[in-house]
Amino acid sequence: MSDLLDTLDPKPLWHYFLELSKIPRSSKQEGAAAAWVAAQGRALGCQVEQDAVGNVLIRKPATPGREGRPAVALQCHVDMVCEKNEGTVHDFAVDPIRVRRDGDVLRASGTTLGADNGVGVAAGLAVLAAGDLAHPPLELLVTVDEETGLTGANNLRAGWLKATTLLNLDSEEEGELTIGCAGGVDTQARRALAVTAAPAGLAALRLKVAGLKGGHSGIDIAAGRGNSIRLLAQVLEAVREKHGLLLASVAGGNKRNAIPREASAVVLCAPARQAALAADVARLAGEWRAALGSFDPGLAITLEPGAAAPVMSEADARAVLGLLLAGPHGVEAMSPDIAGLVQTSTNMGLVETRDGAVEVNFLTRSSIDASKHALAARIAALAGVAGFTATHSGGYPGWKPEPGARVVTLVDGVHRELYGKPMVIKAIHAGLECGLIGEKYPGMEMASLGPSMWDVHTPDEHVSIPSVKNFWALLAAVLGRL
């Protein structure tokens, strides 16, 4: 990647990003990457600590003359969402991310890039490495397992940080300053299956939904994109009884916090019905492409040979499809206070058939705790009606906006000086670790900033190279004022 680095600026930041990209760091398996971060801090002569869950805290003294100023924390997470296209050969447990430049953006080759939040980690390390950057006493907090449960932030111990101001480096739009976010909770619904051996003489087929954009289950939930799990259920509902199909399994989605792009079901069909079934699937694919239109033009619904497997009972098939059809997905309510902000939503993000059961995962988000809990309870009640057992996990609080905080005014003012325009100050419908950190450190002033990146949590993830340069300039200038 050395040739690529020669084309990028600022080089210290991109150096750390490209080095981090060589280290596998899927959520819950980011130990090697966290150890690498700690090693970089020690190599720079900083004080380094690591807690029991793997979070890394690196402290750097203030530049001369600023020792008496309040400490400032920079915060980011080291794990990444690991998504790849079905045809991409890549093992996230061992393979490095293959980073490539495409004009003014960086991409990966068929996988997620990890700019979320690798750019934040790289920026924090570049700040520690900078010898010409004025700053107060600094703390760089790099957390683990943000993407699949906010585990690092959730287990952060009170009193570890000394800072009174925190800059989160996990935002995704240049010129925007995030000052609030939604909380969330997972609901897992599980139903044990009564299965029997596949009857002889039937053809095993795989009904597949693919080609959708997917996206972040909070940021993109109102973008009108298709949910592959819901579409699969709708197609199955239209053809299952008509063609006498037996349902063996359903599977879809890869991450609880990503809108599912692909889903499939294994069905058994009488050979005499295959041609008629294929014609119906082709017709339904055309209808759903027209329905989604420009929101998701790449939709493909196909039939292909499958592997024979034990089949569900009729009661199980009805219950499973019933929950997938009736379970909520998408926007539940918009904010009455902030125009365009989703207040409450659910992502039906995962379905899996394994160990004699079907499991469905819903991630509910809301900036209003009461709404979050009410919708999660409704999902559990619906699951119960369908004969599923529901449990809740992974709950985390939202982050209440404080637009009058000193750090908000300061960052906005520096941006005006550098770029001649105010920042867009907003709250987002996504989970940031600031909610959990603020719960453990009451009174800490916080704001979140970052460069422009798009299609995060998907293999189309890409980051703007010029915006990273501007993000770095803003961060350096802000630290000089704090």
Catalytic residues: 79, 146
- For 213, other C-beta atoms within 10 Å of its C-beta total 20
C-alpha span between 205 and 93 (Å, rounded): 31
CB-based contact 172:450 (threshold 8 Å):
yes
**CB-hemisphere CA count at 13 Å for 468?**
28
* Tokens representing residue 460 in the block: 């189309």
Packing angle of the helix pair 31-43, 115-129 (nearest 10 deg): 20
- Secondary structure, 3-state, 296-358: CCCCEEEEEECCCCCEECHHHHHHHHHHHHHCCCEEEEECCCCCCCEEEEEEEEEEEEECCEE
* 433: phi then psi, degrees, rounded to nearest 5: -70, -10
Q: Are 300 and 85 in contact (CB under 8 A)?
A: no
> At residue 387, what are phi and psi to the nearest 5 degrees?
85, 20
- Cα–Cα distance list, 332 to 73, 200, 326 (Å): 35, 45, 14
Closest to 138 (Cα-Cα) out of 153, 118, 123, 116: 123
